[in-house]
Amino acid sequence: MAGSLITVEGVEGSGKTTQCRLLAEWLRGQGHRVSETSEPDGSPIGAAVRAIFEQDGLTPLTEALLFMAARQQHVAQVITPALNAGDIVVSDRYADATLAYQGYGRGLDLQTIRELNALATGGVVPDLTLLLDLDPGVGLERLGGRARDAFERLDLAFHRKVRQGYLDLAREEKNRIVVLDAEQPVDRLQGEIRKAVGDLLRRRGQARGV
pLDDT digits 0-9 by tens, 93-125: 999 999 999 999 999 999 999 999 999 999 999
Furthest-apart CA atoms within the chain: distance in Å: 50
DSSP 35-99: EEEETTTSSHHHHHHHHHTTSTT--HHHHHHHHHHHHHHHIIIIIHHHHHTTPEEEEES-HHHHI
Mean pLDDT to the nearest integer, 8-24? 97
Q: Cα separation of 13 and 36, whole Å?
A: 19
CA atoms lying within 13 Å on the CB side of residue 199: 11
Q: Which is more confident, 88 or 57?
A: 88
Q: What domains are there in the chain, each with its CATH number?
A: 4-203 (3.40.50.300)
Q: What is the pLDDT of residue 1?
A: 45
Residues 6+ positions from 202 with CB-CB distance below 8 Å: 210
Predicted local distance difference test score (pLDDT) of residue 208: 67
Predicted local confidence at residue 148, as pLDDT: 80
**pLDDT tens for each residue of 168-194:** 999 999 999 999 999 999 999 999 999
Please tell me whether residue 162 adopts helix, strand or coil conformation: helix
Mean pLDDT of 150-162: 91
Q: Which residues contact 1 (CB under 8 A, 6 or more apart)?
A: 86, 205, 206
| pLDDT of 210 strictly over 90 | no
